Structure 1
Amino acid sequence: MSMRTHSSSSCFILLLVMIWPKSTVQQSACPVTSGNSDSCCSSNSCQKSSCSPQVTGSTPAILTLNDFSQGGDGGAPSECDGDYHDNSETVVALSTGWYNGGSRCGEYITIYGNGQSTTAKVVDECDSQNGCDSEHAGQPPCANNIVDGSAAVWQALGVPSSDDRYGHMSITWADA
């Protein structure tokens, strides 16, 4: 093999390494973070993450409850459209990694839980990097595996507010 051929091969391999998509490796290596308690704000010990577990046809997650209406616990208007949303709308916020810089804004996901399924529109980010401030209604950063759903999502899944799981339930989800 001539020096010129060897040099060209090395450059080609280096180029491949530089341009090969890294998101797949980063996503699959992203560990699930545990949820932050409200006390992490006062102790400045909140876990923060910019990645979420890889999305599959049945992505495990935790469904939490969010009030997307003005004055609700969601804080500011929804990131995707700058609007507040009524609790009768099936809407969700996704953890930072799944929100992916807004790439899922306006898209629908299918949520499976409690033996039921429903679709919901992505309207916001459940911020896994920032929190404990007025923009986030004083709440700590989200864990990186959160689907934060409106009351309508919980109702569509048949989970009454009297159920112990209401507000925090294991689910799976997929892009619709």
Structure 2
Amino acid sequence: ADAVRAALLAASRADVVITVGGMSVGDHDHLGRALSALCGADLGFWRVAIRPGKPFAFGRLNDAWVFGLPGNPVSALVTFEVFVRPALLRLLGHARVLRRLRPATLAHALPAGGGREEYRRARLGWRQGRLEVDADRSQSSGALSSLAGADALLVVRVGAPARAAGDAAEVLVLGPDSPLDRLSTDGG
């Protein structure tokens, strides 16, 4: 406990502390409790209603902003893109911090949305002059292969109705090398 406390207090001298793992409620998830009990961190919340990525924490440790990402790599990527990246850009003084939602056409049917907003790993492409999103592969948070070719997150809102292939959808485009950047070469 002393080593953990010392490491966390040393980290608190930074402007931002980003941790990965240990934020859930399992037998080995001690980070949230350690931040609060050992270091006096004020965690404003430690769960969010998204999938994947429910165990996510945000708060202050002394003067440092703290972001606690889930240990699952897919969940960590999603929570970083949805919460941490915009916050870091704002702290750096940028005015535009959110990735724009882009309209796309579904390549495959999409089940109805559940009780949490969902971010499905997806691939983008052009079909008949329209941006098309393909999220027809495993969406298990343990399916690391779904990250390999993903260049977007397909957003499924809470309670959204099921949709058919060809229906409209919204995507968050990841990274600069996406079909949107290749408009002139792909004929889109």
* TM bucket, shorter chain: under 0.3
Taking structure 1 as the reference length, what is the TM-score of the superposition? 0.24
User: Scaled by the length of structure 2, what TM-score is found?
Assistant: 0.23
Identify, as 1 or 2, the structure richer in strand.
2
Q: Which has the higher contact order (CA 8 A, sep 6+)?
A: 1
Larger Rg: 1
